[in-house]
Structure formats: structure tokens, C-alpha cells
Amino acid sequence: MAADGAIFPLTISFDKLKIPALPLIAGGLRIQGSAVAPRGEIRKMLQFAATHDVRPMIMTWPMNEKGVEDAMRTLREGKMRYRGVLVV
């Protein structure tokens, strides 16, 4: 991460946030708490994703009874990675 950068945790959890202090202090980094990042940060994040061809990771299942059952089983087993989508 670039010096003087900011970390915006975008997920909400009741677990403790564990971050090593030395890299944070040495890099002049800061952690900004917000349920939603400021618009400017979202714009920079989207520009970064576009520039570096960052794509979402999506798991898909057919939108039928078996697909829904398989997707729910994956979710219950804790094997869902990133985003699960039922596809027509």
C-alpha cells in the first residue's frame, strides 16, 4: 500500500480487527471506519479496478430447484466464495 494511504474496511464484522502496528505507523497509513466508503474513495477504487482489469469472482448455479439446493448447500457448508448468483 502506498505511503499515507487509507484502509476502508467495507465489510462489517463483530470480530476484532487485527492489523500489525509497525507497517501502519511506518507507512503513515490510516484506517477509516465507515459502513460505506466516501464517494471519492469508491471512484478511485473503481478506477483502479478498471485500470488493472480487476474482475469480481462469482460462483453461478442454474435457476432451478437443483441449482438453488446446490447453492444453499454451498452457503451452509461455508464454501461460498465472494458472490453466489442464480442464472436464468
Q: Measured at the alpha carbon of residue 36, what is the angle toward residues 19 and 60, in degrees to the nearest 5?
A: 90
Q: Please report which confidence band the pLDDT of residue 15 belongs to, taking 50, 70 and 90 as the band edges.
A: confident
Task: Indicate the SS3 state at residue 37.
Answer: coil
Written as one string, the DSSP assignment of 49-67 is: HHHTT----EEEEESSHHH
pTM of the model: 0.47
**pLDDT tens digits for range 19-35:** 889 989 999 999 887 77
Q: What is the largest CA-CA distance in the chain?
A: 53
CA–CA separation, 88 and 69 (whole Å): 15
Q: Percentage of residues in the chain with pLDDT exceeding 70?
A: 100
